[in-house]
Structure 1
Amino acid sequence: MLVILLYSPAHSGENPNPCDLAAQHAAQNSDVPLELLMAISRVETGRQRDGTTEPWPWAINQGGEGHWFETADQAISFANDLLSQDIVNFDAGCFQINLHWHSKNFGSLEDMFDPQTNATYAATYLTELFQSEGGWPQAVAAYHSRSPEQAQTYLTKVEAALTELRATGAVPPASEDMMAAADIVPRVNRFPLLQAGARGTAGSLVPLTEGAMPLFAALP
């Protein structure tokens, strides 16, 4: 997690935010609400630009310290530097997917930073958490941590982000009690990229099961 938001749709239009575009596609191909994905991305990677806070795809959190880069190449280079030091516990991309626990589900480091691939995985994982935990609030909390205190703090920030998104009209109207609903059953995953193979079982920060995952299963 990097920072929380005050959102404005000022950068929509000619230069739409890449994380928001990715969130829109992911929401269209799952039952994760668009506003929820947009709120999470702002809590995870929000940064101030021209007076507003927007998510950013070329972001890394390592050891609690956030790093933002202007290009994908810069972010990937920094990540490779960490890997060269045998540092694999860091979060990457729009939705801050943890490399140590989730890299097996990606073909490469570049894939982890790709906004669409990152958002697709986040939506699929949130869907799994919704199904196992019984509601969006529980899914959002588990996405971040299994520590009740940390999970509640994170959930509060996401709810604040949702409030701002709704207030600015930046997202289509959704049920005001979405974060309390537990009877929405997401559709079957329609992302071919994520339908096959083993999947990680950790939140963005804290693992749900024991054992490290190999880096990038598709690589030799």
Structure 2
Amino acid sequence: MATSMIGHCTALLLVPTLLDPSALTARELPPPAYQLAAAQARVPPNLLYAVALQESGRNLRGRTVPWPWTLNVAGQPRRYGTRREACADLRQVLQLTPATRVDVGLGQLNAGYQRHRVRQPCELLEPYRNLRLAATILREQYNPNQSWLMAAGRYHRPAGGAPAVRYRQQVGQHLARLEVAASPRRTP
């Protein structure tokens, strides 16, 4: 009981920064929810955040931030104002489109290939669950003889090839921006 209450309270404290990371300073990036999910899966937090930026990033008040209620249906992104709206559309989409053509949430988890990780597809729209699963998948794709960026490429396309190479480059660009944002400013 106490453990679940602590977890629930922690989740409530993380909600504002999950939905509006623009409120954070550069030193607080990635937001706490990403740091927690990354720590639990033993993956670099900046990598998890960079993957989410690549997968579900949208412009909010002049900054690109991951958006939790994002679907990608056969290559076409769809963004919603609420989880309820996203879930309703996800249910409809899955009646008409093969689940393997639908990606869901912050980490754009594939509704077909990742269905064994949830009881029903709308669970993938729960931001904390989505982050935990994305971090777990990144960890599963990691090979200690290769870089974490290689794991990110396999996260996107396990078979590798040109799509994985492009994805690694895109995530690498997000990582570079995060590093610059976190570096101390020097004044003359």
Question: TM-score band, normalised by the shorter chain?
Answer: 0.7 to 0.9
Q: Is the 8 A contact 1:58 1:69 kept in 2?
A: yes
Whole-angstrom distance in 2 between the partners of 1:118 and 1:31: 16
Whole-angstrom distance in 2 between the partners of 1:41 and 1:29: 17
Partner residue in 2 for 1:24:
35
Measured after TM superposition, the shift of residue 58 of structure 1 is 0.1
Partner residue in 2 for 1:115:
127
Measured after TM superposition, the shift of residue 87 of structure 1 is 3.3
Equivalent AA in structure 1 for residue 150 of structure 2 = Q
Give the counterpart of 1:76 among 87, 91, 94. 87
Partner residue in 2 for 1:138:
150
Which has the higher relative contact order, 1 or 2, with Cα contacts under 8 A spaced 6 or more apart?
1
Equivalent AA in structure 2 for residue 140 of structure 1 = A
Unaligned runs of 5+ in 2: 1-19, 184-188
TM-score where L is the length of structure 2: 0.77
Q: Is the 8 A contact 1:133 1:139 kept in 2?
A: no
Equivalent AA in structure 2 for residue 47 of structure 1 = R
Give the counterpart of 2:137 among 100, 122, 125. 125
Partner residue in 2 for 1:3:
none
Whole-angstrom distance in 2 between the partners of 1:23 and 1:73: 22
Q: Is the 8 A contact 2:53 2:66 kept in 1?
A: yes
Give the counterpart of 2:170 among 153, 157, 162. 157
Measured after TM superposition, the shift of residue 85 of structure 1 is 2.0
Aligned with 1:67: secondary structure?
Answer: strand
Aligned with 2:142: secondary structure?
Answer: helix
Equivalent AA in structure 2 for residue 169 of structure 1 = A
Measured after TM superposition, the shift of residue 35 of structure 1 is 0.4
TM-score where L is the length of structure 1: 0.67
Whole-angstrom distance in 2 between the partners of 1:133 and 1:105: 27
Whole-angstrom distance in 1 between the partners of 2:32 and 2:129: 12
* 1:12-46 Cα distance to aligned partner (Å, 9 max, x none): 28xx99x9443122112122011000100000011
Q: Is the 8 A contact 2:105 2:124 kept in 1?
A: yes
1:101–1:116 distance in 2 versus 1, CA, 3 Å: same
Aligned with 2:64: secondary structure?
Answer: strand
Q: Tell me which protein shows more helix as a share of its residues.
A: 2
Q: Is the 8 A contact 2:56 2:70 kept in 1?
A: yes
Alpha-carbon RMSD: 2.4
1:67–1:20 distance in 2 versus 1, CA, 3 Å: farther
Whole-angstrom distance in 1 between the partners of 2:179 and 2:89: 35
Partner residue in 1 for 2:16:
none
Whole-angstrom distance in 2 between the partners of 1:77 and 1:133: 42
Aligned with 2:106: secondary structure?
Answer: coil
Q: Is the 8 A contact 2:149 2:172 kept in 1?
A: no
Aligned with 1:29: secondary structure?
Answer: helix
Measured after TM superposition, the shift of residue 131 of structure 1 is 3.6
Partner residue in 2 for 1:98:
110
Q: Percent identity?
A: 28
Unaligned runs of 5+ in 1: 1-7, 171-220
Q: Is the 8 A contact 1:103 1:112 kept in 2?
A: no
